[in-house]
Structures are given as C-alpha cells and as structure tokens.
Amino acid sequence: MAVETKTTCPYCGVGCGVIARVDDDGAVSVKGDPDHPANLGRLCSKGSALAETIDLDGRLLHPEIDGRRAGWDEALDRVVQRFSAVITEHGPDAVAFYVSGQLLTEDYYVANKLMKGFIGSANIDTNSRLCMSSSVAGHRRAFGSDTVPGCYEDLELADLVVLTGSNLAWCHPVLYQRLAAAKAARPGMKVVVIDPRRTMTADIADLHLAIRPDGDVALFNGLLAHLAKTTAIDENYLAAHTEGFGEAFAAASGMSFPELMDRTGLGASELRQFFGLFERTEKTVTCYSQGVNQSSSGTDKVNAILNCHLATGRIGRPGMGPFSLTGQPNAMGGREVGGLANMLAAHMAIENAEDRDRVQRFWGSPTIADRPGLKAVDLFEAVAEGSIKALWIMATNPVVSMPDADAVEAAIKACPFVVVSDVLKTTDTARHAHVLLPSLGWGEKDGTVTNSERRISRQRSVLPAPGEARADWWQLSEVARRMDFSGFDYRSPAEVFDEHAALSAFENDGSRDFDIGDYAGLDREIYETLAPFQWPAPLNGSKAPASNPPLGGTKPDSARRFFANGGFYHPGGRARFVAVTPAETDRTNAEYPFTLNTGRIRDQWHTMTRTGKSARLSSHIAEPYAELHPRDAIDIGVGNAGLIEIASPHGKAIVRALITQRQARGNIFVPMHWNDQFAAKARVDALVPPLTDKFSGQPASKNVAVSARPFLAS
Ligand code: SF4
C-alpha cells in the first residue's frame, strides 16, 4: 500500500511542507502539504521536482579511505586518529569543521557541541556564513539578539512590501506566490523592488529602483533623514523602547540630496516616490536577502533598514517589520544551535563568560571555546596557510561555492587531512578527501529544520538509507565517543532534539529569546508526529502533539512576532539605533570596468549536485550565462549567445552572453550554480575576492570588478 509522509523541502529558506508518497513499486512522488503554514499546499519548480533528484547515480554508498572502500570502524578510527594527533601536536585550533545550512538542526547541534565543548575550539563555520550572517550581526547590534521579528503572513497583511536585495520570485518562489496572490487580491497594496537588475520579481513592482550596487546604506539613510522630518516618526516608541536615534539621524542626514542621488544612482522623483510611500504607509514590511547580506557593508545595510523600522515603530505588529529572508533550508536552525564560529548555542554568546559557563555545565564538557573561531573565508585562508591541518567538510561544496574558489580548492588539496561527509562521491570537493563518509540525503534524513519565520518543521525519512549511508549526527557522535568524550550516546535524532530543547530553557530567565524548552522531554512518538511550530513556543503545559500550534497560523500574534512593545535583549531592554555611513561602492577601474553580481536562478540549487539531475529543471536554463546590457554587449563586441570571458584578478569564467535590457549598464550577472564539470569554465565564485564584511565575515559576492571580452577559442 502506498505510504504518504509529511516532510519538508530541502532547498530554500521558505521551508515548504511536502507530502512524499512512496508507491508499492517504490516510485516516489511529491506534492505540497496543504496543512503546512509556510506554503499551504504550494510548491515551486524545485520542490515539485524533488522525486527526480533522489536516484543513486553518483551516490557515495560506503566509507572510503584514500579512494578505497573501507568499513565504518576503520574510517571513523582514521578520522579520530588524525584529528587527535593534530590536536595533541598543534592544539585544538589546528582543526576545523566546515558545515552547511543543509544539515538538520540535530546534526548541527552535535557538530557544535563536539567542536566547542569537547575539542575546545570554535573553528566550526558554515556555508550559511555566505547566506545571512550580516543579518545576524545587524540583529544583534540593534536588538541584542539574533531575532527575526515577523512572519510570512506579514507580507500578505502589509500595504507596502519593500524587497531590497531579494529576487523573491526566483529565490523564495512560494513566498513570492503568496505575495503576488495578496497583491492581486488587494489592488491598493504596493510593492517596491530595489535591485540593480530588473529581475522577475520586479514584474509585480509598482516601483523598481535600479540602485547602484551597494547603494543601500545611502538609500536607507536618506529615508531615515526624510522620515525624521515627518509625522511618520513614532516618538512614543522611540522614547520608550530605543536609544541612539540622535546619532543615527546625524549620520543619516550628513548627505545632500544630489549626493544621495549619486550614491544610489537613482533619480530625484524615484527617491521622492519611495520615501513618500514609506512615510505614508504604516503597514510596511521590508524584506532583504543576499543583495543586502553579501556585501562588505552588509551589516551596516541591515542596520540602516532596521533604523527606519525602529524610528517608525513599525516592528512586530501584523503587516509591519523588517524581515531577513534566509537563503538555506536550515540557516536558522544552525543559528539556534550556535553552528557558526562566533555563536555558542541556544542564542548564547561565546564572548559572555556566564553563557559559556552555563553551556559547559549543561554539557558537562571538559572545556569550552572562549573566543570566536575562524569564519568561512578566514578558515580556508588558515587552511591555505597551513595552520589548519585537519578539516571536516559536511554537506557542502566549497570548491565551487566559496569566494576565491580556485585558491580554496588549492588549500583543500594541500591540507594534510580532509574528511568529507556527503551524499555524492562526485562533488568537486569530495574528490580531494582523504576520508569520505556517506551521509543521508533528502528523503532519508530524519530531524528538524527552521525556516525564515522561525518555524521548526520535521524533515522525515521516506526511503531506507542506501548502502551504508548514516546520519551526520551519528557520524559526529561516533567520532566523539571514540575520542573518549561523554555525552554523545544519542540513539536517535529525537534524543538530540530533546537535549537541544532542554538547553534552550536551561537557566533561561527570559533574557534569551530562543526558547523551545517545553519541547524537551517529548517521547519518540511525539517527536515523530511533531507539527510545524514557531518559536518561542510554549506548549501551554501539555506535551501532547495535539497542543502544538494548530496548522494554519492561528497562534496568538504575541507568540509569533517580537518587539511590538519593546522587550529588546540589550541590557535595559532597549533597541539600539546604529549610526551608519555609506562606504565607497565603486570597485571598477580601467582594467576591470564592469561590476559582477552573482546569484541564483529559479530552477537550480547551489552547486547543482541534486537539481542538476532533473532534466525538467535544466530545461529552464540549460547553460551558465552572463546577463549584460545591450550597449555593453556592443561595446565589447559580443552577440547574444556568444561566448564571453569574464575575469577578475582571482580567476575567470567563460559563459554565454545573454543580452537584456533588464541589466543596468556596467553590470554583469552570472549565476553561481555551475562548476567546471558542467561547462568548461563556469565557477563564477573563482572570480569573487575573499573580501568580507568586517562585522559578519560575510563575503561581498555581488560587487566584484571584472573585465569582459568575447572568448575566442585558440
Ligand atoms: Fe522548496 Fe523553497 Fe520552492 Fe518551497 S519555495 S518548494 S522551500 S525551493
């Protein structure tokens, strides 16, 4: 008899519910879960094609050591022996984990516990560093915690939705569908899209602002200065719940209007139209994503946006608030368990001695990392320099996705000991591993993920584990046990989740926002039937699954949004305005006169290790390409679909030209997905320099000076 299982899509941060059906003959099909509050039955092209990506072609089915098949015992012993030897000889900071927003929260929890509490280093970072770490840093500066104040429903309730640095239509498609449906139902609703490109998202925009790359701080500073002259400022909210407005206003008002036009590249009427809309519309949501985060000024951009919402008191109320959209399915879950080099666990701070003591006592661990570890870009530079001598990479492909990808590949190749846990043995990174450990893929994994609106959902297994593949949390626990560490005797992901929930509540007097403590102590059966819920999430005294928040979003608003009545997490409970000033944004010069912007396309995910298997998905856009303006195409002498070589001081890519008016002059967009196996030279991240935001460590992947010329095969 066919079996249907409720699970979660493994791609973007929307976190859609999926019903996976396995027929008697083993055929798998998927449909959207009508009861899941994130998508209410919808799926995008990628989610709909999940069943086409789960074959065993290229699967890593058993452990390997130096290219030969090995048993689990031998492989795990090798990992323990090499990591232990490096730690003994060079200290704990000579090893590192590089993990992923693809990991489930339970995997992330165990990885973070092992590295920070038992190995004693904070050298665990994640590809989520490339995704949303500027938002984390901005939240912490403004709110005193990494808290997303609102929820998806706010996009439907708002009268004005501002999308900045977010191609929602392609990168968060189901959320875009919800927004488009709401706009169609309420013609008075306005959408503003701020993006150097006229993306598909701009097709529903009432106003598209083709901003200069990295012009966001100037734009939102200009907006704050404008709002300060109007009645849109919420004086009561400012006085009761915030501090630092004067300094932020002084920084924001230091720019003349002509300078604002120059820095943003926008005309006076466009600016006035946007400022007027924002001023007049109380129910305003500002969504931001990689176009804001992936910048050397990403954290300042986030704070410039937050300043405008704090100044107007438009935060944490239905249809109002700033909204950071996470790119990955479990970027938020990684934040909850501290799976970043500068975080601890349960939203506690590594720099805070009381937090460190609390976590160490809870774990009963022999040590605790007492300072932030290396963030992604620094981590791979340390590998290149030789100070990291043993590296464990889980569920990610940095040889394609990291900035300065050629240098990252060379570093991994030269690293004395590299472990890769993955589902495929064919990734660009896996081929450099000394030890390969087979992991579970989507449809086989079992655990939880958290989406952009803080909603925790179960990802459930619908298929048996192929070959000898095992869960990442199990691999990590086995290594920990073999290193003679206690506290890793988990028998199931439910036991890991239980401990994670208990830590969130451990000595939490309300000074930390993340609290799922009522979910500790759930038995296995209840974990299996757990319905999606948002944190903070009291169970109202009952631990029965029926008391989980009902599907359909009927929980009280107070439990789903933060900060309408203040209650920030800085000492004193006030939000802090952050005074920000725009940095110089133009990186071009005579040799590299174009600005490269990298990003996602609708039908592929990251480095295409899964979506690349679906012919249907590849039929949308079959090849890597460079989007450029017709005048630029004439200037460099390339025709549509002609091959074009794009180069920076760090590398080059050869892709086809796509000539379009959607692209602003001087800018080139190239998707991030393709590698050098799919095309001769298409790893666009090889061109991106290892330049990062000084607060978040997030790379600046959207403003790279490059040259462009027709490619002539020699
Ligand atoms: Fe999956 Fe995101 Fe598409 Fe939803 S919108 S189906 S989570 S890729």
* Look-up of token digits 């720019």: 255
Q: Beta strands 390-394 and 594-599: pairing type?
A: unpaired
Nearest atom, ligand 1, residue 8 CA: 7
* Look-up of token digits 């009432």: 206
Which residue stretches of 45-172 are H helix?
45-48, 72-90, 105-112, 133-143, 153-157, 168-171
Task: Select from 3.40.190.10, 3.40.228.10, 3.40.50.300, 3.40.50.740 the CATH code of 64-131+331-537.
Answer: 3.40.50.740
Distance between CA atoms of residues 19 and 49, nearest Å: 13
Which CATH architecture describes the domain 3-53? 2-Layer Sandwich (3.30)
Q: Is the CB of 46 under 6 A from ligand 1?
A: yes
Q: How many helices (H) and strands (E) does the chain have?
A: 25, 26
The burial class, CB within 10 Å (0-12 / 13-18 / 19+), for 187 is: exposed
Task: Select from 1.10.260.40, 3.30.565.10, 3.30.450.40, 3.40.228.10 the CATH code of 133-325.
Answer: 3.40.228.10
- Give ranges for CATH 3.40.228.10 in the chain: 133-325
- The pLDDT value given to residue 1: 83
Ligand 1 center to 423 CA (angstroms): 20
Residue nearest to atom 4 of ligand 1 (CA): 16
Nearest atom, ligand 1, residue 174 CA: 5
pLDDT tens digit sequence for 421-436? 999 998 999 999 999 9
Residue type, 487: G
pLDDT tens digit sequence for 103-155? 999 999 999 999 999 999 999 999 999 989 999 999 999 999 999 999 999 99
Q: Is the CB of 92 under 6 A from ligand 1?
A: no
Residues 6+ apart with CB under 8 A from 706: 592, 594, 595, 596, 646, 647, 648, 668, 687
- Give ranges for CATH 3.40.50.740 in the chain: 64-131+331-537
Considering the chain, what is the average pLDDT of its residues? 93
Residue ranges with strand state E in 131-289:
160-164, 190-194, 207-209, 242-243, 284-288
Give the mean model confidence (pLDDT) for residues 295-313. 98
Are 29 and 3 within 8 A, CB to CB? no
* Look-up of token digits 């058993």: 62
- Give ranges for CATH 3.30.200.210 in the chain: 3-53
Ligand 1 center to 621 CA (angstroms): 18
User: Which is nearest to 124 in space by CA: 92, 153, 151?
Assistant: 92
Residue ranges with strand state E in 306-430:
321-324, 390-394, 417-422
Q: Is the CB of 30 under 6 A from ligand 1?
A: no
Which range among 112-126, 182-196, 522-536, 635-649 shows the weakest confidence by mean pLDDT? 522-536
- The pLDDT value given to residue 513: 85
- The pLDDT value given to residue 547: 33
Task: Identify any residues that bridge with 597 across adjacent strands, giving them in sequence order.
Answer: 669
The burial class, CB within 10 Å (0-12 / 13-18 / 19+), for 602 is: middle
- The pLDDT value given to residue 680: 64
pLDDT at 37 over 60: yes
- pLDDT band (50, 70, 90) for residue 683: confident
pLDDT at 325 over 70: yes
Q: Is the CB of 15 under 6 A from ligand 1?
A: yes
Residue ranges with strand state E in 435-524:
435-438, 447-450, 455-459
Q: Is the CB of 11 under 6 A from ligand 1?
A: yes
CA-CA distances (angstroms) from residue 314 to 233, 309, 579? 10, 5, 19
The DSSP secondary-structure symbol of 385 reads: H
Nearest atom, ligand 1, residue 32 CA: 6
Give the mean model confidence (pLDDT) for residues 668-685. 81
Which range among 182-196, 405-419, 503-517, 625-639 shows the weakest confidence by mean pLDDT? 503-517
**b/e sequence 450-467, b meaning 16+ C-beta within 10 Å:** bbbbbbbbbbbbbbebbe
pLDDT at 557 over 50: no
Query: Cα 456 vs. chain centroid, distance in angstroms?
Result: 15
Distance between CA atoms of residues 579 and 244, nearest Å: 8
- pLDDT band (50, 70, 90) for residue 672: confident
Which range among 1-5, 84-88, 95-99, 284-288 shows the weakest confidence by mean pLDDT? 1-5
- pLDDT band (50, 70, 90) for residue 714: low
Q: Beta strands 667-671 and 625-628: pairing type?
A: antiparallel
Query: Cα 424 vs. chain centroid, distance in angstroms?
Result: 22
Ligand 1 center to 17 CA (angstroms): 9
Nearest atom, ligand 1, residue 605 CA: 8
- Give ranges for CATH 2.40.40.20 in the chain: 594-710
pLDDT tens digit sequence for 353-368? 999 999 999 999 999 9
Q: Beta strands 594-599 and 575-576: pairing type?
A: unpaired
Distance between CA atoms of residues 214 and 212, nearest Å: 6
Are 329 and 323 within 8 A, CB to CB? no
**Class level of CATH domain 594-710:** mainly beta
- The pLDDT value given to residue 222: 98
Q: Is 26 left (phi over 0), alpha (psi -120 to 50) or beta?
A: left
- The pLDDT value given to residue 543: 38
- The pLDDT value given to residue 221: 98
Q: Is the CB of 271 under 6 A from ligand 1?
A: no
Angle, helices 268-280/216-227, rounded to nearest 10 degrees: 60
- Six-digit token pair at 76? 């795990």
Task: Identify any residues that bridge with 29 across adjacent strands, giving them in sequence order.
Answer: 21
Ligand 1 center to 367 CA (angstroms): 40
Which range among 137-141, 186-190, 396-400, 559-563 shows the weakest confidence by mean pLDDT? 559-563
- The pLDDT value given to residue 448: 97
Residue ranges with strand state E in 401-454:
417-422, 435-438, 447-450
Residues 6+ apart with CB under 8 A from 619: none
Ligand 1 center to 13 CA (angstroms): 7
pLDDT at 555 over 80: no
Are 395 and 97 within 8 A, CB to CB? no
Residue type, 200: M
* H or E segment and range at residue 97: strand 95-99
Taking residue 613's Cβ as centre, other Cβ atoms within 10 Å add up to 17
Q: Is the CB of 39 under 6 A from ligand 1?
A: yes
Nearest atom, ligand 1, residue 175 CA: 5
Query: Cα 34 vs. chain centroid, distance in angstroms?
Result: 25
